[in-house]
Structure 1
Amino acid sequence: MFRILQNQTTNSKIILSRSEVNCTYNPISNFSRFFIFSHVQKQRVFARNKLFAFLAGTEEVENGQLYFDNYDNMRITTPVRWPIDIRRFVSGPSEEKLMEKLKSGEWIPTESEMPHNFKIEGVNIRKKEDGMFVNFTFRANQFQKEKALEEIIERVQTSLKEKHDVLWFNVNAYLVKGKPFIENLVDRYPVSRLRIEFQGSDVLTETLYKYLEPYGLIRDINLFPASSKYISRYALVQYVKVRSAICAKNCLHGMTVDGARFNILYDNPVRMYRIYKWIINHPTLSTISIPLIPFVAVAVVVGITYGLDFICYIFVRTRIAYYHLYQQLREKTSGLFTTFREKPEEEIFNFSTKEQEEKLQNWLKDPPDNFIVLLGPTNSGKSALVNKILRGKRNTLYIKCDDIIDSRNKNERALELAKQVGCSPAFSLVISFSNLGSLLANEVIGHKIFGLPSTVDDPVKKVLDLVENALYKTRRSRRTQNSENEFPIVVIDAYMIKYKENHDLWELLIKFSSELVTNKLAHVVFVSSNIGIINHLGNQAPSMQVNTLDLHEPDEVINLVDQYARDKNIVIPEGLKEAVSSIGMHLTDLGLFIGKIRNGTKPDDALNNLVSEAKADVYRIAFRDDFEHVANKEWSDIQFWEILKGLSKKEYLFYDIVKSSPLFDDDDTPIKAMERSGLISITLLPKESTVSIIKAGKPLYQKVFAEISSDELFETKMKYKTAQYYLTLENSRIKEYEDELEKLVKIDSKWNNKWSSRWSFSWLFGNGHEVINHRVKFLLLQLKKSLARAKKHQKQIDELKQNYELILNRKGR
């Protein structure tokens, strides 16, 4: 046999035998042959030497694979494998982006920096295993292929270690030594145990450990013989981490070691659904287990509900007992983490008197026998007084009704209340599981399970029951600690707010408070701006007495300013006392006034600025004429003008007199609407518990009302509207009188025709003409008065119209 070799330097063909090709090269013999052999033999020797050099130095393009055990920075450290893995549905980087990262040198060196003409050909992402295969090519001869692969993987691993600080997620790279089985089977998920089946000769444990150890820590390796001719020999390898098992499977599957081929699979342990299938398919157990499944489901849901209910109880008790520590820690550390936040400025003076503070403290020291009510207008310092007295005290609980009452339904109200008492997250789960348990119980048993929150008419009552139980345990623990004189305190703020006077929440809170006070579990302090709370508490809880602390503004507000100035040795600026007396004890306006004074504004100028702003608010709220505002406004301009005109001259108006005036016609709906908007306030006359009076919504409005009523143009406009209203009213009355007179004339004519005969029986029924005549005379008298008033109003309208035009012309000059 011969081989034909094409010489690279000449076009001639040299034919060599197999023995000549396989001969050993000897330089001495070749030197001698150079002189004694013929020319043809010399060419044969030269071609043979060229062939050896060509075979030793020829490099071919080879293929290889790398496996990266993490490719997405969204998946950090060792992933958790579950049958339902939502991470599969989270979109990660695409193969094109990963190719760009790999070629740009972000993870591994660039292709120019890699040896052996390294080039990346493609990327195959394995989302289920959180890894990816990188296909590459390189150039190497057949004798240096393994060495070239070792150099490539060494360079890649070194680069990943150097960039460990840059890549904030952990990633490792391994060389694929076998032929990986890339599958996407739905029921196969990565686990930490591998099943390695052998095809071929036997493999020792030492050999397995040698090839499996580089991918991670191994717990154990167990070899099993072939149980039958259909099941081959296999080994079970238990890794510490799932990530290590994934790398070993993808890198070693299909590899041949000592004549044995590795087939590697994930060995899934026995799962619960397999046990479930075994029970369902069992001929005996299925007849017992299937009917019990609904009952077991109900029992599990109810058990979870009661467990969550107990967790809510623990949260509420912790909130009552230790919330004051959180508040103290927050006050002490808030300044450490708020470098750029301004510290709260000191109040200019206390908004409550010492007598009020001492009175409230004495009530709280006594055993809880009565309700405590703090009554006063909005922004009069009620909540500030309670916070000042209870600051730093343990076993206190605050319930803010204004946040609860704005909820849309009962469940939202219950969740808001649970949030305030400290069990919001757990109680939301209680409601969900209780609804599910009631639904299942109703379908399986036929009736609901009593005691669950869903069986209660209002879940707010369930939260209040939790609070009551927590207060009972708290009070009981205080008795064991010999602290019987210290009672928990429950503050119900914004109770019976004016725009929600009739609400189911008030009844639930009254019952809850009555049980607390009756059982001497806690003091209950109601904070309200509604004067009707006293009658409301008396009607809902007639057996309970009420201790009332009225926080209406003092008669002499300036005394507080003088007291503060004496305590702080401060010189009071000129005009400050008069301005403060006009503002009163309204905290919001007083705070704005203090801010203006501290900014360098004079007291008179600051007061004028506040009056101007308040005046604009009154115009905007009470006298706006746009369509949306008129549609939602519950009073007319002239109705509020009537009250404004009276309050500009007097400090207060009697409620019943205003209500019975012609503009209101015994309808107090507009008056209540004005109170809700803050324009006026309805209170009780001092030292009179049955007489209601109407005052300005806040002290500053008293001055605002006086300025508005002194506006000649606006006053003329309102008088014009009032006269028009009265004229319309009189015209309607005249129309009614005329209609009734017309009916009486018709009745009188029919009476004459029917009873004109001598058998009229007037002696039995009386004379109808006399009754009609009396009514006609009365109607004519009223008609005459209405015509006179209508004429007067019409004349007034004409005069006001002329005056309005004159004022406009005068102002326009």
Structure 2
Amino acid sequence: MISLRSVLRQHPRRMLVPQKQYLHTRPDHRPRLSAPSFASAIRRRSSSDSGEDETGHINTAPNEGIIFLDHIFPLKLQWLTRLPFIDGSSLVSAYKRLNSPNVALADPTGIVSRALPSNLPIKITSIIPRVREGGAFIKFQHDGSIAAEELEGTVKAYLKEKPIKPWFNPLRQVRAFLVRGKPWIEDLYRLPSSRVKVEFLPTSPEASAAELTQETLYSLFRRYGTILEMVSQPSDSKIAPRFAYIDYSRMRYSTMAKNCMHGFVLVEEAGGGKSGTLLKISYEPKVKGKWFRDWLTSHPRIVIPVMAALIAGLSVSIFDPIRTWSIKIHILHGLHLENNKYYQWIRKQLSRGYDYIRFNHKKAEDDGLNAIWEDRHSQMEQLKTWMSESLDTFIVVQGPRGAGKKQLVEQALKSEPHKLVIDCKKIQEARGDSKTINAAAAEVGYRPVFSWMNSFSSMIDLAAMGTIGTKTGFSETVENQLVKIWTNTSSALRSIALSCRKKDDRDADLQDDEWLEAHPEHRPIVIVDNFLHKSTETGADMVYDKLAEWAANAVTHNIAHVIFLTTDVSFSKSLSKALPDRVFRQMSLGDCSPEIAKKVVIRHLEAGAANSDKEEELTSSKLRNDLDELDGVIQVLGGRLTDLEFLARRIQAGESPGRAVKQIIEQSASEILKMYLLDAEKSWSPQQAWTLIKELAENEELKYNELLLNDMFSKNGEQSLQTLEQAELISITSVNGRPNKIKPGKPVYLSAFQYLTEDEVLHSRLDLSIFKMLAAGENSTIQSCEEELQKLAELPGTPAQMKPRIKYLLDKAAASQEKIVNYEAKIGRLKKILSEKY
């Protein structure tokens, strides 16, 4: 064979294109084809990404060969070919437009033109770019007297002498290898991988293929790059055809091996068997960290609890400080404009203009309450004294609804800067676990709160039960979530209390707990409003028990003063669970006396008249001519604060006191009718409520034990009375700890009871239901007596010992029958009334 060196000496100008296309000379005096001319040649001869004539292959004649160049295109942009209207050829054109024409090495066309020696005795017939694999096929024609392998060696030596480094990876250089097989050029979306799968196929259907050894594979594929590992197919595997995996250290090595060796036929002499072995090469996705993933999926009993613990730990370390800070800001009103001096000045200026009436209306209400504060001055002073004591300040302010409990506490402690008000009503009326958690968090300023995680974590626990058979503990109940909220609140309260401590204090050497015990004046105040609101509903006990436990812990550790505001007279049962060994301090609020009630109404009227637009200033005596009625209506209305304010507003609206009280009585009667008499889905019966209303309308107060003797309260009587007291229809007074008397729940209810009993139709309807119930009870008694008498009659003879029992049953049945006759007569009269009146 003729040497390539002699050919180059004999044909120094045998070029890719005619000599006239040279435009400039290279520094080493070797002529070079300009990039634009070379690009035009490529455009005339290049094939598509799917091979020649869309066949997926490159056809070669006996004197033709193919060289594959890598590092022409970046591999990181393979995903672009998945976009619509983008293929390999469009990317090649884009590279040419975007790259600088002054930098030859930045143009893929320039890289191809510089990769081949200018005096190489070949003729390029086509160039097929492989954007996904970062290279390009160069198909060329050569003289048959020169071996293709020798041309490959010449190109490699040239690139080693004159390396070309692409713009996207200047640390690497372009490499060239002769394509020894028959490459498959497909435009499928198959991304390169550092692992290739080599399948051993027969050269013809009737022939058989040989399974190549690792030594043979190494000798064939090592030239393209460093091999990390070769994995042969297990000997007992039934998968055909046989295959082996080759792992390269770099993806560029695997792309070169795949494009150069795909379709290569290994002859018998080289170990390919009698008829040779065809190598089919494809990329095999290699999952990094597969062993770690397999370990995770194989040990769910360990992994799932550990993940739950990590998530919980991250939540505590990251979000808990944020939540504690949010609670502190909520207590200190750090984000409230009301405490800003500039905002207060602007508000003061605006109050002199268009907002004057609104602010003065609030002042009118405050003036009306001053009479109450004067009357309850001793209770307010007592409350302030308790706040300054170092002993456990676990205080309960109990009173009926509308007695002004919250207003009294706020008035007494208005000078205290650090107060936290928790309204149990908002928490208890929230529907669903997530809303309950959100409501509790909003009351204390607990943010951020991920209430949706409660449902999500429950789903994880359910999945874990089916996977590992046990719960992961990742899900948290509403109880645990509430405990977290209260715990963060304790941290915030403690931080606020200790923020008042200074280094130069006399007791600076005390520990934090000792300092908190010695300085009760710096403890924040927690006001728990509406405690035991709707305490009879399902799930309420849990919320109140946890709240009471947290409050007891805050008081015991001298973190805060806690004041409970409740209308429930049985609050001691719930609070005693939290502090069983201590006596909490109690303050009871009742209705105002008639004298104070009259003052409250008059001051409301005076303040409203003083703030009106009238030029004439009216005194209390001139305000209205019918104020003399106040003495009478106050006796009817009572001293409930909310009722007094309502009366004052109606009088200001132009009604007379008598007319206003009548409207209040009618409204109260409507509430009683709806809440206690017409709704059957209660813990008491409408007949029991009506019995109480009738008796109280006639007697104003009832004896507790005497009422229990009534037939309507013979079953579950005490429970019904306690429930009606919780519902505020009645109030029960005690003597020496035992129930003594029953009174209306509000003073105005007495008049409302009398108003309801005056309605003959309502009276007849409810009495009819009572008599029917009593008659049914007597019929049941007679039936039970008859059954027992029938059993006694079946005895042989009539024993003398059973005669008293028989007489007792007969007398009892006769008495019941007499009652039934009486009830039936009353039922008949009531039906007549209902049929005649409406």
TM-score band, normalised by the shorter chain? 0.5 to 0.7
Partner of 1:691: 739
What is residue 769 of structure 1 aligned with on the other side?
799
State the AA in 2 paired with 1:561.
K
Q: Render the CA deviation track for 1:356-404: whole Å, top value 9, x for unaligned.
A: 2112121122225142001011121112222323436332212111211
Which of 473, 476, 489 matches 1:454? 476
Deviation at 1:505, TM superposition (A): 1.2
Mapped contact 2:529–2:564 kept (Cα < 8 A): yes
Report 1:179-190 matches (<5 A).
Answer: 185=83
Shift of 1:414: 2.2
Match of 1:786 in 2: 816
- More deviation, 454-463/502-511: 454-463
Aligned to 1:394, the other structure's residue is in SS state coil
For the 8 Å contact 2:99–2:106, the answer to whether it is kept is no
Contact 1:415 1:424 in 2 (8 A): no
Q: Secondary structure at the match of 1:500?
A: coil
1:205-239 deviations in Å (ceiling 9; x for gaps):
xxxxxxxxxxxxxxxxx995458854689xxxxxx
* Offset from partner CA, 1:28-57 (integer Å, 9 cap, x none): xxxxxxxxxxxxxxxxxxxxxxxxxxxxxx
Q: For residues 590 and 563 of structure 1, do their structure 2 counterparts lie closer, same or farther at Cα, with a shift above 3 Å needed?
A: closer
Q: What amino acid does structure 1 have at the position aligned with 2:382?
A: K
Residue number in structure 1 paired with 2:132:
none
One-letter amino acid matched to 2:567 = S
Which residues of 2 match residues 712-727 of structure 1 at below 5 A? 712-727=760-775
SS of residue in 1 equivalent to 2:482: helix
Distance 1:719 1:229, change over 3 A: closer
In structure 1, what is the Cα distance between the partners aligned to 2:786 and 2:482? 59
In the TM superposition, 1:165-204 aligns within 5 A as: 185=83, 197-198=95-96, 203=101
Q: How many angstroms apart in 1 are the aligned matches of 2:807 and 2:628? A: 68
How far residue 724 of structure 1 moved from its aligned partner, in angstroms, is 3.3
Contact (CA 8 Å) 2:380, 2:412: kept in 1 or not?
Answer: yes
- What is the count of residue pairs matched by the alignment? 541
Which of the residues 630, 635, 639 maps onto 1:576? 630
1:406 aligns with 2:429: yes
Match of 2:595 in 1: 558
1:354 partnered with 2:343? no
State the one-letter code of the partner of 1:520: N
For residues 590 and 573 of structure 2, what CA distance do their matches in structure 1 show? Answer: 18
- Give, in whole Å, the separation in 1 of the partners of 2:655 and 2:833: 39
CA gap of 1:456–1:590, structure 2 versus 1, over 3 A, is closer
2:732 and 2:721 map into 1 onto residues whose CA distance is 13
**Identical amino acids, percent of aligned pairs:** 22
Cα deviation for residue 730 of structure 1 reads: 2.1
Give the deviation of 1:692 after TM superposition.
Answer: 5.3
2:405 counterpart (360, 382, 390): 382
Q: Distance in 2 between matches of 1:565 and 1:199?
A: 91
Q: Which runs of 5+ in 1 are unaligned?
A: 1-181, 189-193, 205-221, 234-265, 269-273, 753-767
Q: Aligned residue for 2:781?
A: 733
Whole-Å separation in 1 of the counterparts to 2:782 and 2:295: 83
State the secondary structure of the residue aligned to 1:380.
coil
Task: Report the AA paired with residue 715 of structure 2.
Answer: D
Q: Does 1:463 align with 2:482?
A: no
Aligned to 1:611: 665
Q: Using a 3 Å threshold, how does the CA distance of structure 1 residues 485 and 200 change in structure 2: closer, same or farther?
A: closer
**What amino acid sits opposite 1:594 in the alignment?**
A
> Residues 398 and 491 of structure 1 are in contact (CA less than 8 Å); yes or no, is this contact kept in structure 2?
yes
Matching residue within 613, 621, 632 for 2:675: 621
Q: 1:323 to 1:655 in 2, by over 3 A?
A: farther
Deviation, structure 1 residue 529: 0.6
The residue type equivalent to 1:726 in the other structure is L
Paired letter, 1:185 = L
User: How far did 1:713 drift?
Assistant: 4.8
Task: Give the letter aligned to residue 695 of structure 2.
Answer: G
- Residues of 1 paired with 2:98 and 2:563: CA distance? 87
1:399 aligns to what SS in structure 2?
Answer: strand
Task: Give the corresponding residue for 1:514.
Answer: 552
1:757-783 deviation digits (Å, cap 9, x = unpaired): xxxxxxxxxxx8122112112112222
Distance of aligned partners of 1:396 and 1:444 in 2 relative to their CA distance in 1, 3 Å threshold = farther
SS in 1 for 2:711: coil
Contact 2:597–2:644, Cα closer than 8 Å, also in 1: no
Spell out, residue by residue over 1:628-648, the C-alpha distance to the aligned partner (whole angstroms, 9 max, x if none): x44x35544432221011211
Q: Deviations over 1:134-164 (max 9, x none)?
A: xxxxxxxxxxxxxxxxxxxxxxxxxxxxxxx
Gap runs ≥5 in structure 2: 1-79, 87-91, 115-166, 170-190, 196-227, 229-246, 250-285, 298-302, 506-518, 608-618
Is the Cα contact below 8 Å between 2:421 and 2:527 reproduced in 1?
yes
Give the whole-Å Cα distance in 1 for the aligned partners of 2:433 and 2:287.
48
CA shift in 2, pair 1:300/1:738, >3 Å: closer
| 1:687-709 residue CA offsets vs partner (Å, 9 max, x unmatched) | 64322543323221111111222
Seen in structure 2, the aligned counterparts of structure 1 residues 324 and 367 have a Cα distance that, compared at 3 Å, is farther
Matching of residue 319 in structure 1 with residue 356 in structure 2:
no
> Pick from 682, 697, 702: which aligns with 2:750?
702
CA RMSD of aligned residues (A): 4.6
1:664 to 689, 706, 713: 713
Q: Deviations over 1:566-609 (max 9, x none)?
A: 89873382112332332234344333221111122111111112
2:693 maps to which of 605, 621, 644: 644
Show the counterpart of 1:600. Answer: 654
Q: How does 1:284-323 map to 2 (within 5 A)?
A: 286=289, 290=293, 301-302=311-312, 304-306=314-316, 307-322=318-333
TM-score by length of 1: 0.57
Alpha-carbon distance, 1:202 to partner: 7.5
Distance in 1 of aligned mates of 2:481 and 2:572 = 27
Residues 311 and 426 of structure 1 are in contact (CA less than 8 Å); yes or no, is this contact kept in structure 2?
no
Amino acid at match of 1:314: W
Indicate the residue corresponding to 1:534 in structure 2: 572
Cα distance in 1 for residues equivalent to 2:559 and 2:428: 26
Q: Which residue, out of 481, 496, 510, partners 2:532?
A: 496
* Closer/same/farther in 2, CA of residues 223 and 735 from structure 1, 3 Å limit: same
3-state DSSP of counterpart to 1:600:
coil
* Alpha-carbon distance change, 623 to 290 in structure 1, aligned in 2, over 3 angstroms: closer
Following the alignment from structure 2 to structure 1, what is the Cα–Cα distance between the partners of residues 488 and 774?
A: 59
Query: Does structure 2 conserve the Cα–Cα contact (< 8 Å) formed by 1:377 and 1:529?
Result: yes
Distance 1:696 1:432, change over 3 A: same
**Offset of 1:525 from its aligned partner?**
0.8
* Contact 2:778–2:816 under 8 Å retained in 1: yes
Specify whether residues 225 and 778 from structure 1 end up closer, same or farther in structure 2 by C-alpha distance, changes over 3 A only: closer
Q: How does 1:43-442 map to 2 (within 5 A)?
A: 185=83, 197-198=95-96, 203=101, 225=106, 229-230=110-111, 286=289, 290=293, 301-302=311-312, 304-306=314-316, 307-322=318-333, 326-328=337-339, 342-343=358-359, 344-345=361-362, 346-347=364-365, 348-350=368-370, 351-352=372-373, 353-391=376-414, 393-428=416-451
How many Å separate the matches in 1 of 2:760 and 2:455? 64
Task: Give the counterpart letter for 2:672 in structure 1.
Answer: V
| Whole-angstrom CA distance in 2 between matches of 1:455 and 1:612 | 46
Change beyond 3 A, Cα 1:277–1:496: farther
Shift in CA distance, 201/723, structure 1 to aligned 2, threshold 3 Å? closer
- Give, in whole Å, the separation in 2 of the partners of 1:689 and 1:464: 34
Please state how far the C-alpha of 1:511 moved relative to its aligned partner: 1.4
Aligned partners of 1:201 and 1:521: how far apart in 2? Answer: 70
Deviation at 1:504, TM superposition (A): 0.9
Q: Is the 8 A contact 1:308 1:426 kept in 2?
A: no
2:662 aligned partner, one-letter code: N
What's the offset of the Cα at 1:532? 0.4
Check conservation: 1:316, 1:423, Cα contact below 8 A.
yes
What is the distance in 2 between the residues matched to 1:524 and 1:596?
A: 37
C-alpha displacement of 1:421? 1.1
| Corresponding residue of 2:161 | none
